[in-house]
Amino acid sequence: MGLEAAFEDLNVRMRALYEALAGLHTTVVEDKPGDVVLVDLFGDAAADLLGLLSEARDATERAGRGAPLADLERLRRALIVGQGRYNQIAHRLSSDLLCYERTAELLQFGRRRGGEWWSWAESVKAALDDCREPSYELSLALFRCWQELTERAGALSFSLQPGAYRQSMTIAEREDPAREDVR
């Protein structure tokens, strides 16, 4: 795939998850029929996830833009930030929002309240489901970036094994073109 393409794909996948999370936040907060604690729980979680994803996007987009992709250290640091934020997002999604208990609570709340609340609960459930695929795709994109980065770094490095054989190396001193006399 190539490192450049992997970073481009990563940013596309981050935008897709961002759109899904923004849709969830809109559904939870703006489409609510009234104020209840459950709305705050889902709304706050969605807002937190959007913040984490924004941090990840900022780091990886900056690394892929404005610097040569040969700057592996800069890319590595950006991927560390992106991966760390994604890990937090995936954990919050799975344990706080997409887990069976939370989904059951949401749907049970909608059934109990009925009417607009039932429609809201179903819409929130659909918006939550819409986050699953982009989250998975983002995890794959992060993996591809790590894979491309390590392959590029591996191509640039070598190791010397002591004891297997001995070889003498000499390095000829190169002339520095900046020190040449211009005649």
What CATH number is attached to the domain comprising 54?
Answer: 1.20.120
- pTM tops 0.85, yes or no: no
Q: Residue 95 domain-assigned? A: yes
pLDDT of residue 34: 87
pLDDT in tens, 89-132: 999 999 999 999 999 999 999 999 999 999 999 999 999 999 99
Long-range Cβ pairs for the range 36-44 (8 Å, 24+): 36/109, 38/105, 38/106, 38/109, 42/97, 42/106, 42/124
Q: Residue 60 domain-assigned? A: yes
Cα–Cα distance list, 11 to 59, 92, 138, 155 (Å): 10, 21, 9, 25
pLDDT of residue 67: 52
Q: Determine the average pLDDT of the residues in 147-166.
A: 69
Q: Residue 182 domain-assigned? A: no
* Residue ranges making up the domain that contains 95: 3-156
pLDDT of residue 63: 76
Rounded Cα distance between 151 and 145, Å, is 10
